[in-house]
Amino acid sequence: EFRRVLFRSEAEAFLAAAQRLATATSIDLAVARTHAGRRSPGQAPTQRTITIGAAGTKGLRTYVQLFVVIAAANDVRCDVAANSTFVYAYGFAEDIDASHALYASLVVQMVRASDAYIASGQHRPTPTITARLNFQLAFGARIGQRLTEARDQVRREAANDPGRPPGTALALRNKDLELHDFYRGASQARGTWRASRASAGYSSSARQAGDRAGRRARLGGEPELSTARTALGR
């Protein structure tokens, strides 16, 4: 039990550290933009298409959900294709980069964890597809909660840190307003996207297993982060 608690604490620390770095970088750049006399086009919000998977692939909605919750924790708004094959991401370049980098590692962990859960047979007698979808939905929800908590903590610390440049809170507010205006002008989305459907079925045991896996997810030495570190640390 002690080893399990220790591993969970380490996992939380690794993931929180990655999100804290992404948020700190984003805050520094927001402050820099506020104080810049002139801004280049690269310093304005942008729209980027993020490919999620091929049409017809099962479970794409859970992949989309994972990207969307990661993006939300990094101040990125998303519109989702009707078939969940891609996402339109709206935000500042550094925030989209961070979201994509985090997703690249976490989606691999989500798939591996759900595969292991299904292979164990613990989902029976729930149908495999139902169990997998519920597992991955819960995984994504937990990841979103963890990243958002880390983001909010860094923002609070930055706003109250007397050692930071003046105007940090104002810079963050201006960033939020600029992104809101950009999204409102650029997005053509209609309606509200939802990750789950009533017809997909529900499995409490799969949800619990997915939530546990989301708590264990970490960012450390995975090869998926070879490009993520560059995006997060630049």
For 119, the 3-state DSSP assignment is helix
d(CA 30, CA 44): 10
What's the token pair of residue 16? 């929180």
pLDDT in tens, 163-221: 887 788 889 999 999 999 999 999 999 877 887 765 668 999 999 999 999 999 987 54
The pTM (predicted TM-score) of the whole model is: 0.87
d(CA 18, CA 21): 5
Beta bridge partners of 59: none
pLDDT in tens, 210-223: 999 999 998 754 44
Q: What is the pLDDT of residue 182?
A: 97
Residue linked to tokens 């976490």: 106
d(CA 42, CA 47): 12
- Residues 33, 43: contact at Cβ < 8 Å? yes
> Digits of tens for pLDDT over the chain (234 positions)?
434 443 455 556 678 888 999 999 999 999 988 877 676 776 899 999 999 999 999 889 999 999 999 999 999 999 999 999 999 999 999 999 999 999 999 999 999 999 999 999 999 999 999 999 999 999 999 999 999 999 999 998 988 888 887 788 889 999 999 999 999 999 999 877 887 765 668 999 999 999 999 999 987 544 443 444 344 434
Q: What is the pLDDT of residue 14?
A: 78
User: Angle 231-17-115 (CA atoms, 0-180°, nearest 5)?
Assistant: 85
